[in-house]
Chain A
């Protein structure tokens, strides 16, 4: 009995300590800063493209009228401010403002506010025309949500790779104070990481219901789909073993992602495999934006030290320390060279 009590006490204490360490350790906001730029850029592009056909998708006579969206969301809780725009003039005004907010968010201006607004904008467009959305919008949605969480606790002066930091530090002597580690930056990074694991797990498990993912022909079905195809890959018909290999690797990679991504030695392999998988979607299946946002989301698993190592030299040269990282991180880069992708 005592043995059992000791076991559970140990279990609770260890779990509690690990939970605290996992979620509440302050993190350098470098990873979040890079993600803000890339995700902000993608959200800006996504919404800028709506401008080419804005009235057709969000105007009074849109493809999806109030009746059909109401039918799809009749027991839902989706809200969109775009329903309030009943004239093209109003629609274009709020759309222009939305693009401006997304641009400010990408650049890191008033980030605490613009991050929340960017999230609301992303959700509003998705809820207004849900049947015109696909994977890209789903990833945009949760990334914007988690970035908004991150910037709740990152002070403007501590916001990596942002104009906020530059604007609030213009009159300070150089070198600038360090960008301080932030708990919310860590929570947001962890949320993206865990969400990506869940996403890949269900993407993989759902494939197990299909015969083509077992008999190794599923990739053929994707490449031989004319409506998706952006590059002719029909030559693969002469290489059935290659089709089989790509099919099996895709499923195994997606299902094991949730386990292997956390290992120090296996993480680089898992991330390296993400590149051909998602580049294939970009180049062969015509979904450049979806493939790109998946790769961007995978950057949540790249340590801030590595990002500092790659980016700070250039940003320091161009903008001084206002946009780049703290001196202590730059010097510690060398010390961390051997464990840059571990966490």
Chain B
């Protein structure tokens, strides 16, 4: 540090701290080493990772979880990919219907609130990937459905995951817009009722979780904790 030392002009009576004793420095140094190694193990243990890092993660997990340091910092990695939205269709007791979408740029303002909704749909989409145990997708779908049913006083809600692909530069040069219909793919997540029953598509039922929408690139955002499932 380049903090200039006090000179004769100063009046450091406001409690200059004495230099720490050797014992104190040893204790703090050990704490620092523990913390810094945890800070490295957190992102290093995100898949794909080695067996060594996975083992170290088991040691550090309580500490990293408790302090919310369990992140991979994989911003836009391995590469930017498609976005995910959730479309919902509400059915009411009087027979009327209403649909909605989240995230929604005009309804969810300011932008930070939009991103909160965006993360909800993005996190759910991770569990729509092949090979993911279906109970995660089901749990997220049920939770979102339950919220929508209560918020809108609806009798039932149908959830649809929408994947929005990114056009390639040559497609844009050929005249394609970002909202071109061919860039959107939908996957039903189920119809959930206020009485707790649900009609689930085959993709979410156990033993069958094959995706129905194409993947554009490798998995992308959002940031997530190391996968310990």
Contacts and interface: CB of A to CB of B under 8 A. Distances in A.
Contacts of B43: 198-199, 202, 206
Contact of B10 (A194, A240, A327): A327
Contact of B78 (A61, A209, A303): A209
A23 B17 CA distance: 15
A270 to B, nearest CB: 17
B208 to A, nearest CB: 20
Interface string A301-320: 00111000000000000000
Interface string A64-103: 1101100101011111000000000000000000000000
Interface residues of A, number: 109
B13 to A, nearest CB: 5
A64 B146 CA distance: 9
Interface stretch (A2-10, A33-41, A109-117, A286-294): A286-294
B142 interface: yes
B172 A224 contact: yes
A211 B135 contact: no
B68 A123 contact: yes
A288 B110 CA distance: 10
A194 B36 contact: yes
B47 to A, nearest CB: 11
Given A180-B17, A227-B103, A237-B172, A64 B4 contact: no
Contacts of B68: 78, 122-123, 126-127, 137-138, 141-142
B100 to A, nearest CB: 13
Interface in B82-137: 82-83, 85, 103, 110-120, 123-124, 135-136
A212 B79 CA distance: 6
Given A206-B72, A342-B2, A328 B113 contact: no
A221 B16 contact: no
A108 interface: no
Given A183-B20, A237-B172, A328-B7, A64 B74 contact: no
B6 A178 contact: yes
Interface stretch (B25-33, B185-193, B195-203): B25-33
B169 A134 contact: no
Given A67-B139, A202-B44, A226 B83 contact: yes
A318 B1 CA distance: 28
Nearest to A76: B65
**Interface magnitude class on chain B:** 35 or more
Interface string A325-342: 011110110011001001
A132 B120 contact: yes
A73 B65 contact: yes
A272 interface: no
A127 B64 CA distance: 12
Given A187-B28, A206-B77, A213-B79, A224 B65 contact: no
B204 to A, nearest CB: 14
B16 A206 contact: no
A179 B12 CA distance: 7
Contact of A178 (B14, B40, B63, B222): B14
Contacts of B207: none
A71 B135 contact: yes
A328 B10 contact: yes
A26 B17 CA distance: 8
Given A76-B61, A132-B119, A186-B1, 5 more contacts: A131-B140, A134-B222, A183-B17, A225-B83, A227-B85
Which 10 pairs between the two chains have the least Cβ-Cβ distance? A221-B80, A210-B79, A210-B78, A206-B77, A227-B83, A212-B79, A202-B43, A209-B78, A328-B10, A206-B74
